[in-house]
Structure 1
Amino acid sequence: MPIHGLPDNLKVTRPVHFDIEQAIRPNILALHPYRCARDDYNEGILLDANENALGHSIMKTSNGDLNPNLQSTLDLDLHRYPDPSHDTIKERIAALRSVPGPNHIFLGVGSDEVIDLLMRVCVTPAKEKILITPPTYGMYGVCAQINDVGVVKCPLELSGNGGEGGESGRFSLRVDEIKKAIDNDHTIKLIILCSPGNPTGTLIPLSSIRSLLEYDRFKGIIAVDEAYIDFAGADSSAVSLVKDYANLIVLQTLSKSFGLAAIRLGIAIAQPPLIQILTNTKAPYNISTPTANLALSALSPNSVSSMHDKVNTLISSRASLIASLATLAPQGLGSPIGANDANFVMVPVLSKDGGKADSDRAQRIYRALAEENGVVVRFRGNEPGCAGCLRITVGSEEEHKIVIEKLAEVMKII
């Protein structure tokens, strides 16, 4: 069954065992996407979309006040529906990530919209499943439950003591176990890998991802969520594999390295057939005009250069934060768990005698920091392999100083 809107010259050819028509739900393949007013024309006297021709109604208050920060946004054509394709944004992303062009790019309302769409197009509710590798991003499981799809869990392998006795632990993907899960359950249609992981901060080697992509007994899609990829160093992204594997989709975002969490712009990078399917399925105007305008500015050469400068600063700050946290070892703070490839570190709180990770103590410290000291970190002690763990985002040097001081004070008491 042909994919609506996909040119014949962009059909899938690799890997040979993968057939996208078998990976996508038949009702999605048969879908004729909604045609919106801006698909055909976006210039001229626009009387086709039932917009308010008199413009927006945001006015100054009675005393003439208007937040000056709003002015640039109000100058946009807010009374018009946004561009449904945003090709200029996609072209800039394609250039930044070294992919052939905008037909390899999909834009979503945050990566969460892309995750939800992937489940809806690939996995039949109440019949088929996704596979995840805990500890991992919690929205995968939430989204699966919303979509009524099953979840197969193949936990990451934790080597070392996982923080017990102050020693660090390391997480790794169990490729052979994932393959066994595939062999035992042919209803698995979507595998979601988080790299660098959240909350593990661990990058998955490209060789491991390639091994799963080439496993000919798996006929579904592999999604690699790379929200933190810019903190992991050059040549670490699975985007480099997209040209060879039509069964791969890479998720990225402007929330982390670009510092634009508030605008909610997620990115998916894949070969054109899968991108076309997502485009056919999405809401017609999912990316707002203010979001698009900010994204264009963020993807300009000067802004991209600024992003890289800030990422380099945060990477240096990450190392100094880890060094500062090590000074709290006598008070029962273990060594970081994971590979520290993201903009956060995860450390276990140990029992008072330093014997093992202590989730109860960690949770009490977490609450005391937030409620009594104005320092908010994240308790992750309920995640597999993360007993006693607090996840701490890399901040400014001034913030780190306060965090270490407050953490030291609280750990003396608790």
Structure 2
Amino acid sequence: MVYPAHFSLTSVIRPNILALTPYRCARDDYNEGILLDANENAFGSSISPPSTSSAIDSDSAQDIPPELLPTLSLDLHRYPDPSHPLIKSRIASLRGLPSPDHVFLGVGSDEIIDLLMRICVVPGGNEKIITTPPTYGMYAVCAQVNDIGVVKVPLELSGDKGEGAEEGRFSIKVDEIKKQVVADPSIKLIFLCSPGNPTGTLIPLSSIRSLLEFPDFKGIVIVDEAYIDFADDPDKESAASLVKEYANLCVMQTLSKSFGLAAIRLGIALAQPGLIQILSNTKAPYNISTPTAHLALSALSPASVALMRGTVSKLIQGRKSLLQGLELLGEKGLGVGKSIGGNDANFLVIPLLERSGEGAIPRDAKPDSARAHKVYKFLAESSRVVVRYRGSEPGCEGCLRITIGTDEENVEVIRKLEEVLKVM
């Protein structure tokens, strides 16, 4: 049985989207034989090597980098498969879902974020979404592009008010979110980032269930899990395990992070088939390119998934080592505070502390965003070490976000950071 009883998909989707007649792709019906139905170039790609096309001469063939040859063999003159059932089947199996009907593919998670807003929220600002800053910036950007309202319910940073919680860990304010949706029935979507960006904090499934089962919220809870494979136990901690139960849940994942395929731009939505079908009806006809699909299918093979998990283990170990190095800089009095967030992702967020004079900086000094920004700029421009400044986001005053690199890169960033902090 699919829950919750108070949710109706047809009531949350915009009426014009429900009435939409989807565009029929040429490849929806037939994809074999003499294909003269899609106005493609029958002679092939203009950059095909001579062995596959007579359209270019040997001189131009010499300009083709050898690494491009496998890609050029993929029938690039044909439109790609619009549905990619094998990729979806492998994703469903990987994430414990019953069928490919629970999987949607987008051009990165950003396309999925935009589509969810377009199919659910009426433009004009009267209907709204909830975000929980500090969080991924594209939620607000897409909301502005689509001319919809944003209600912000900031995360709570625990451990600084004597409540006995783990110091420096962010959590969502479940009760405050519920209060907002009761006060404003026009809220259609709740965006949660887990593990968060830039917080690195995993949201407990109990908190997500509480929102899914809250009868006063008639919309959809969206859980962005771009970093889920870096959590301690992704299979148990992922909200994908709830998709079979809840029709008002959409989980977003990606091949950009743990799979190391940011360049191919493949985002994933996991949800009940009804919502997946509406996303499929609304997307651009051939949104996933043939090269992307080819690489994604390879990445989702058993051997590649095993390699991914091995790489994730290395990055988690690197996360521990980098954290130790940053803590040592703090112990040296260089003005590095304790890492904030849950450290459940492939990055760390550290505050740089204010310098009030010469000598060691105490660990209880206040975060200094101006100093952090100067260090960020100097690292990038003079030391060629690029991290991310996050000091302007709520709860992240004075913070830099540092992605976990290779062992050599992690050592280098600590060395360069120590050099800079001694003089800045």
1:228 matched residue in structure 2: 227
Instruction: State TM-score, norm by structure 2.
Output: 0.92
Structure 1 CA distance for aligned equivalents of residues 136 and 386 of structure 2: 19
Letter in 1 for 2:282: T
With 93-102 and 345-354 compared, the bigger mean Cα shift is at: 345-354
Aligned to 2:395, the other structure's residue is in SS state coil
- Please tell me the residue identity of whatever aligns with 1:409: E
Does the alignment pair 1:179 with 2:178?
yes
In the other structure, the counterpart of 2:13 is: 24
1:39 aligns with 2:40: no
Q: Deviations for 1:363-396, whole angstroms, at most 9, x for unmatched residues?
A: 0000000000000000000000000000000011
Return the alpha-carbon distance in structure 2 between the equivalents of residues 202 and 18 of structure 1: 28
Query: 5 Å matches for 1:264-283?
Result: 264-283=265-284
CA contact (8 A) 1:89 1:295 kept: yes
* Structure 2 residue 376 is the aligned partner of structure 1 residue 366: yes
Residue 62 of structure 1, CA deviation: 4.3
Match of 2:42 among 29, 42, 53: 53
Could you tell me which amino acid in structure 2 is paired with residue 66 of structure 1? I
If asked which structure has higher relative contact order (CA below 8 Å, sep 6+), I would say 1
Report what 1:70 is aligned to.
Answer: 68
The alpha-carbon deviation at position 168 of structure 1 amounts to 5.1
Partner of 2:396: 386
Deviations 1:335-355 (A, max 9, x none): 100010000000000012441
Separation (CA, whole Å) in 1 of partners of 2:60 and 2:285: 37
Q: Tell me the SS of whatever aligns to 2:218.
A: coil
- Alpha-carbon distance in 1 for matches of 2:148, 2:407: 44
Counterparts of residues 113-132 of structure 1 (less than 5 Å): 113-126=111-124, 127-132=126-131
Distance 1:191 1:172 in 2: 15
Equivalent in 331, 344, 347 of residue 347 of structure 2 = 344
Amino acid aligned to 1:290: P
Q: 1:192-244, CA deviations, whole angstroms, 9 ceiling, x for partnerless residues?
A: 00000000000000000000000000000110000000000221100011111
Q: In 1, Cα distance between the equivalents of 2:97 and 2:400?
A: 37
2:289 aligned partner: 288
Question: Which residue of structure 1 aligns with residue 420 of structure 2?
Answer: 410
Determine the C-alpha separation between the residues in 1 that align with 2:408 and 2:171.
Answer: 33
More displaced stretch, 138-147 vs 345-354: 345-354
Unaligned runs of 5+ residues in structure 2 are: 48-55, 356-360
Map 1:327-342 to 2 at 5 A: 327-329=328-330, 330-342=333-345
- For structure 1, the residue ranges without an aligned partner over 5 or more in a row are 1-11
Residue type of the partner of 1:350? L
Q: CA deviation at 1:407?
A: 0.3
Structure 2: distance between partners of 1:80 and 1:159: 54
Alpha carbons 1:14, 1:245 under 8 Å: kept: yes
CA contact (8 A) 1:221 1:247 kept: yes
Query: C-alpha separation between the residues in 2 aligned to 1:169 and 1:214?
Result: 28
3-state SS of the aligned residue for 1:244? coil
Matched residue pairs, number?
A: 399
Cα drift, residue 160 of structure 1: 2.6
Distance 1:89 1:73 in 2: 18
**Residue aligning to 1:306:** 307
Identity, % of aligned positions: 68
Q: Give the AA of the match of 2:39.
A: N
Q: Shift of residue 309 of structure 1?
A: 0.2
Counterpart check, 1:207 vs 2:206? yes
The equivalent residue for 1:192 is 191
Residues 98-146 of structure 1: CA distance to partner in whole angstroms, max 9, x if unpaired? 1011100000000000000000001011120000000000000000000
Query: 1: CA distance between counterparts of 2:61 and 2:30?
Result: 40
Question: Any conservation in 2 of the 1:168–1:336 contact (CA below 8 Å)?
Answer: no
User: Does residue 107 of the first structure (1) align with residue 105 of the second (2)?
Assistant: yes
Secondary structure of the 1:160 match is coil
Could you tell me how far 1:317 is from its partner in structure 2? 0.7
Whether contact under 8 Å (1:232, 1:342) holds in the other structure is yes
1:397 maps to which residue?
Answer: 407
Contact 1:128 1:150 in 2 (8 A): yes
Q: Cα offset for 1:285?
A: 0.2
Aligned equivalents of 2:40, 2:188: Cα separation in 1: 41
| Aligned counterparts of 2:168 and 2:60: Cα–Cα separation in 1 | 61
Contact 1:168 1:335 in 2 (8 A): no
Q: Secondary structure at the match of 1:151?
A: strand
**C-alpha contact 2:341 2:349 (8 A) present in aligned 1:** yes
How many angstroms apart in 2 are the aligned matches of 1:302 and 1:159? 40
| C-alpha contact 2:169 2:341 (8 A) present in aligned 1 | yes
CA distance in 2, matches of 1:61, 1:195: 52
The answer to whether the aligner puts 1:147 opposite 2:156 as a matched pair is no
| TM-superposition CA deviations, 1:132-179 (whole Å, max 9, x none) | 0000000000000000000000000012349xxxx9511111100000
| SS of match in other structure, 2:237 | coil
Q: Is the 8 A contact 1:254 1:265 kept in 2?
A: yes
Give 1:61 deviation, angstroms. 4.9
- Alpha-carbon contact 1:137-1:199 (below 8 Å) kept: yes
User: Is the 2:2–2:244 Cα contact (8 Å) retained in structure 1?
Assistant: no
Partners of 1:309 and 1:168 in 2: CA distance: 30
Q: Which residue in the other structure is 1:7 paired with?
A: none
Segments ≥4 residues shifted beyond 6 Å: none
